[in-house]
């Protein structure tokens, strides 16, 4: 009997999201217009330079400024603070279209929106928002998010970076690893342990401007993919910041990090969707043009089955992403759906880019075609902002909770 | 001076789409094909919005003639900065035979009704390449026209227009009210900003029928047949000038 009631609650949870699912069949007009605008921008301004950005490892300064002018660098931020004042569904659509043009530009946009501005918007004071968000809405400045360390990634609770108070200042010591945007950033959200005895409840979040005395950057990592965005260590040695740079309450750092990553996951899912869609576009286009056995290979079943599998993977991940976004916009719990979206989308990205190279054959292996770049760019989506294994842990524990086991 | 500018925007098949002729050769396939705003109309909207930003005019009104989907094109204009829209409903058979003469009669009627100071159009549409609507509208209104504009500057109650013509650039000064048509180099249209896309939702689009403006849509033209351009044939190489001349004589070219 009890199980029936629990099951009904589960169905209730699903239906409340489904009431808005009809929106997914046909997006609202503004969202369609937004999607089209971002797609036009990506096609005209990002697609032509994506290969060069990857080859030269160069940061797209002009494009980030243009995206800032369009409002894309601060989509959730209210207009009074300089943002676009849009919802998360709009953000997911924009992220997908931009990443479809250039996955690099996508990750730069995502880190600024979800990981840097996100926690300040949610946990910052009005003064902090004005100081740390408004200058970062125009594309002139970008921010970054420093949680991972050389000693812990998935194990975020074991933060060994320390922060202690000295008079009116906080003093930070430690090293952060794998920080995207680090070399271009003008500020970062840093997580450090303020009370070691409280374990993960003793971590706090801080706002640190960059450059700053006591903060140095490690060398830029030479990565497999998303090479135009900088990834480096941030080293803090007696880095002193004013007392007012504490973000949120003392000890709330872990909670802030987890909630930030929850919404960041939707953005990364959208980025992975963009890469997956770009791979599908590349493969489908090639299948129509390349002939073998006397026919365009798109007419051969082996290729058609591949394209079908790719299309199903992308579309299902897309619907999961939109659902997570809609739940967040309705202020409903969305942690499980965000994890599912990120898991599905990143695995769709690696699957589609793998199959795209297969469809292109030898051409897929050379840099003349974008398939190899999509393959390299897709791989990281299964790792950052929560590995696929962590996503599975999140989903699994939610499923168990729903059945009260 | 009302300070009001009327901008015409046309919904056409997107420039990047591969055009296919219908199997019965009656026209081109439009069902399910991606449509967008005519690129020259985008330039016209951008110019109007720029004038408003410079505070030289007060209001930009975007007009489109066509079926229900024409409203999407008007919304794009609103997202770029136009203040309100007018959708002149033309659908079905009437839409298939709609041509520059009908549209210019409609625009002329609206220009008078809205007391427009300026009508800005794209120089031509990329689907029919007529290049007639601007000129006809000016004639119907008995207003001066600055066509193929690559530079526009308002000087008091006159407008200086630099026109791209075959011989080079021609600069003219015309009185207002006037009709201008935008050429490629007039400006680079902006991407709509996201806040403007949101604001566009709240801007009004009025619905009007051609009959309300006293315009009749019977067509004086009949499309007999639409064909694809002939396939490009391979060329032939010749060794000497003498060979070239004899080959040209052979094929009846000279």
**Over the stretch A352-400, which tens digit does the pLDDT of each residue have?**
999 999 999 999 999 999 999 999 999 999 999 899 999 999 999 999 9
> In the numeric block, which tokens belong to residue B138?
């000016």
Q: Residue A10: beta bridge partners?
A: none
Which ipTM was obtained for this model?
A: 0.74
One of A149, A337, A347, A385 is an active-site residue; which one? A385
Q: Which residues contact A321 (CB under 8 A, 6 or more apart)?
A: A92, A96, A266, A269, A270, A273, A341, A344, A345
3-state secondary structure (DSSP) of residue B182: strand
- Cα-based distances in Å from A51 to A257, A338, A346, A354: 33, 30, 21, 18
CA A108 to chain centre: 9
Spatial separation of the C-alpha atoms in residues B140 and B143, rounded to whole Å? 8
Q: Is A385 exposed, middle or buried (0-12, 13-18, 19+ CB in 10 A)?
A: buried
* Nearest by CB: A70 against B72, B191, B198: B191
pLDDT exceeds cutoff 80 at B133: yes
- Decide if A273 contacts A99 (C-beta within 8 A): yes
Half-sphere exposure for B107 (CA within 13 Å, toward CB) = 37
| B201 → chain A, closest CA residue | A30
Distance from CA of B36 to the nearest CA of A (A): 10
Mean pLDDT of B199-211: 92
- The torsion of the CA quartet A209, A214, A220, A226, rounded to 10 degrees, works out to -30
* Nearest by CB: B195 against A66, A71, A94: A71
How many CB pairs below 8 A link A and B? Answer: 46
Mean pLDDT of B101-110: 96
Spell out the SS3 assignment of chain A.
CHHHHHHHHHHHHHHHHHCCCHHHHCCCHHHHHHHHHHHHHHHHHHHHHHHHHHHHCCCCHHHHHHHHHHCHHHCCCCHHHCCCCCCHHHHHHHHHHHHHHCHHHHHHHHHHHHHHHHHHHHHCCHHHHHHHCHHHCCCCCEEEEECCECCECCCHHHCCCEEEEECCEEEEEEEEEEEECCCCEEEEEEEEECCHHHHHHHEEEEEEECCECCEEECCCCCCCCCCCCCEEEEEEEEEEEEHHHEECCCCCHHHHHHHHHHHHHHHHHHHHHHHHHHHHHHHHHHHHHCEECCEEHHHCHHHHHHHHHHHHHHHHHHHHHHHHHHHHHCCCCCHHHHHHHHHHHHHHHHHHHHHHHHHHCHHHHCCCCCHHHHHHHHHHHHCCCCCHHHHHHHHHHHHHHHCCC
- Decide if A104 contacts A54 (C-beta within 8 A): yes
**By C-alpha distance, which of A24, A8, A310, A260 is closest to A156?**
A260
pTM, full prediction: 0.84
Query: Residue A33 and residue B198: Cβ atoms within 8 Å?
Result: no
Over chain A (405 residues), the average pLDDT of each successive run of 10 is: 46 43 73 92 94 94 94 92 91 96 95 95 95 94 94 85 94 95 95 91 95 95 93 96 95 94 93 97 95 93 96 96 95 95 97 97 94 96 94 96 84
**By C-alpha distance, which of B61, B68, B58 is closest to B44?**
B61
Q: Which residues of A touch B191 (CB under 8 A)?
A: 37, 40-41, 66, 70
- Decide if A89 contacts A49 (C-beta within 8 A): no
pLDDT exceeds cutoff 50 at B227: yes
Query: Residue A33 and residue B192: Cβ atoms within 8 Å?
Result: yes
What does residue B172 show for φ and ψ, rounded to 5 degrees?
A: -130, 160
Q: Which residues of B touch A285 (CB under 8 A)?
A: none
**Residue A23: per-residue pLDDT:** 61
Q: B17 CB near a chain A CB, below 8 Å?
A: no
**Residue A11: per-residue pLDDT:** 44
pLDDT classification of B1: cutoffs 50, 70, 90: low
Q: Which residues contact A89 (CB under 8 A, 6 or more apart)?
A: A27, A31, A322, A325, A326, A329
A315 C-beta neighbours (distance < 10 Å), count: 15
Q: Which residues of B touch A78 (CB under 8 A)?
A: none
B30-72 residue pLDDT tens = 988 989 999 999 999 999 999 999 999 999 999 999 999 999 9
Q: Which residues of A touch B75 (CB under 8 A)?
A: 29, 33
Distance from CA of A85 to the nearest CA of B (A): 7
Told to judge if A385 belongs to the known catalytic residues of this protein, a careful annotator would answer yes
Distance from CA of A110 to the nearest CA of B (A): 16
Query: Residue A37 and residue B195: Cβ atoms within 8 Å?
Result: no
Spatial separation of the C-alpha atoms in residues A126 and A343, rounded to whole Å? 35
**Residue B232: per-residue pLDDT:** 85
What does residue A6 show for φ and ψ, rounded to 5 degrees?
A: -65, -40
Q: Is the dihedral of CA A121, A124, A125, A129 positive or negative?
A: negative
- Decide if A204 contacts A194 (C-beta within 8 A): yes
Show the DSSP H helices in B119-233 as ranges: 133-141, 194-200
Classify residue B193 by its DSSP letter.
Answer: P
| B35 → chain A, closest CA residue | A36
Query: Residue A94 and residue B201: Cβ atoms within 8 Å?
Result: no
What does residue B5 show for φ and ψ, rounded to 5 degrees?
A: -115, 130
- Decide if A63 contacts A45 (C-beta within 8 A): yes
A38-88 residue pLDDT tens = 999 999 999 999 999 999 999 999 999 999 999 999 999 998 998 988 999
Query: Residue B198 and residue A40: Cβ atoms within 8 Å?
Result: no
Q: B14 CB near a chain A CB, below 8 Å?
A: no
Spatial separation of the C-alpha atoms in residues B232 and B229, rounded to whole Å? 9
**Residue A25: per-residue pLDDT:** 67
Spatial separation of the C-alpha atoms in residues B164 and B184, rounded to whole Å? 10
- Decide if A118 contacts A62 (C-beta within 8 A): no
* Owner of token pair 């770009």: A278
Query: Residue B191 and residue A75: Cβ atoms within 8 Å?
Result: no
Query: Residue A33 and residue B76: Cβ atoms within 8 Å?
Result: yes
């Amino acid at each position: 009997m009890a199980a029936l009631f629990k099951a009904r609650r589960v169905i209730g949870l699903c239906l409340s999201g489904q009431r808005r699912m009809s929106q997914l069949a046909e997006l609202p007009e503004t969202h369609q217009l937004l999607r089209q605008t971002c797609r036009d921008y990506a096609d005209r301004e990002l697609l032509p330079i994506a290969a060069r950005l990857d080859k030269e490892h160069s940061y797209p300064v002009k494009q980030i400024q243009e995206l800032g002018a369009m409002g894309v660098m601060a989509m959730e931020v209210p207009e009074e603070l300089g943002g676009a004042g849009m919802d998360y569904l709009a953000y997911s659509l924009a992220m997908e279209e931009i990443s479809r043009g250039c996955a690099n530009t996508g990750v730069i946009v995502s880190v600024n929106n979800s990981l840097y501005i996100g926690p300040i918007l949610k946990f910052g004071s009005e003064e902090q928002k004005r100081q740390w968000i408004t200058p970062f809405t125009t594309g002139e400045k970008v921010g970054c998010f420093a949680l991972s360390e050389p000693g812990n990634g998935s194990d975020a609770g074991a933060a060994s970076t320390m922060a202690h108070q000295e008079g009116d200042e906080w003093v930070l010591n430690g090293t952060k690893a794998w920080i995207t945007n680090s070399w271009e950033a003008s500020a970062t959200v840093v997580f450090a342990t303020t009370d070691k005895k409280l374990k993960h409840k003793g971590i706090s979040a801080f706002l640190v401007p960059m450059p700053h005395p006591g903060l140095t950057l490690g060398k830029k990592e030479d990565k497999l993919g998303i090479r135009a965005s900088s990834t480096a260590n941030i080293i803090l040695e007696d880095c002193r910041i004013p007392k007012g740079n504490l973000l949120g309450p003392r000890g709330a750092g872990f909670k802030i990090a987890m909630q930030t990553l929850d919404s960041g996951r939707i953005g990364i899912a959208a980025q992975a969707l963009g890469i997956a869609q770009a791979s599908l576009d590349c493969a489908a286009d090639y299948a129509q043009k390349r002939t073998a056995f006397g026919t365009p290979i798109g007419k051969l079943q082996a290729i058609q089955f591949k394209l079908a599998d790719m299309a199903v993977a992308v579309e299902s991940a897309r619907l999961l992403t939109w659902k997570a976004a809609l739940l967040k916009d309705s202020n409903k719990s969305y942690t499980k759906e965000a994890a599912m979206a990120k898991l599905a989308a990143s695995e769709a990205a690696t699957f589609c880019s793998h199959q795209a190279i297969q469809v292109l054959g030898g051409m897929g292996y050379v840099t003349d075609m974008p398939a190899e770049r999509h393959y390299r760019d897709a791989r990281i989506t299964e790792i950052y902002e929560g590995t696929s294994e962590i996503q599975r842990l999140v989903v699994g524990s939610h499923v168990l909770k729903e059945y009260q086991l | 001076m009302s300070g009001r500018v009327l901008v015409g925007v046309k919904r056409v098949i997107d420039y990047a789409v591969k055009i296919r002729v219908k199997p019965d050769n009656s026209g081109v396939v439009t069902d399910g094909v991606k449509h967008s705003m005519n690129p020259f109309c985008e330039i016209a909207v951008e110019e109007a919005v720029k004038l408003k930003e410079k505070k030289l005019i007060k209001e930009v009104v975007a007009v489109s003639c066509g079926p229900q989907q024409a409203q999407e094109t008007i919304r794009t204009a609103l997202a770029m900065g136009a203040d309100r829209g007018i959708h002149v409903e033309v659908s079905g058979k009437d839409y298939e035979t709609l041509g520059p003469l009908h549209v210019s009669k409609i625009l002329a009627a609206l220009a008078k009704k809205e007391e427009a100071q300026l009508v800005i159009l794209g120089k031509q549409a990329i689907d029919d390449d007529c290049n007639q609507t601007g000129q006809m509208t000016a004639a119907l209104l008995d207003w001066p026209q600055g066509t193929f504009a690559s530079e526009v500057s308002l000087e008091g109650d006159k407008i200086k227009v630099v026109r791209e013509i075959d011989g080079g650039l021609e600069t003219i000064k015309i009185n207002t009210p006037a009709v201008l048509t935008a050429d490629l180099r007039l400006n680079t249209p902006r991407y709509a900003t996201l806040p403007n896309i949101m604001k566009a939702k709240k801007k009004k689009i009025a619905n009007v029928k051609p009959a309300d403006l006293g315009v009749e849509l019977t067509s004086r033209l009949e499309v007999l047949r639409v064909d694809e351009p002939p396939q490009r044939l391979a060329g032939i190489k010749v060794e000497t000038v003498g060979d070239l001349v004899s080959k040209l004589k052979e094929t009846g070219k000279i």
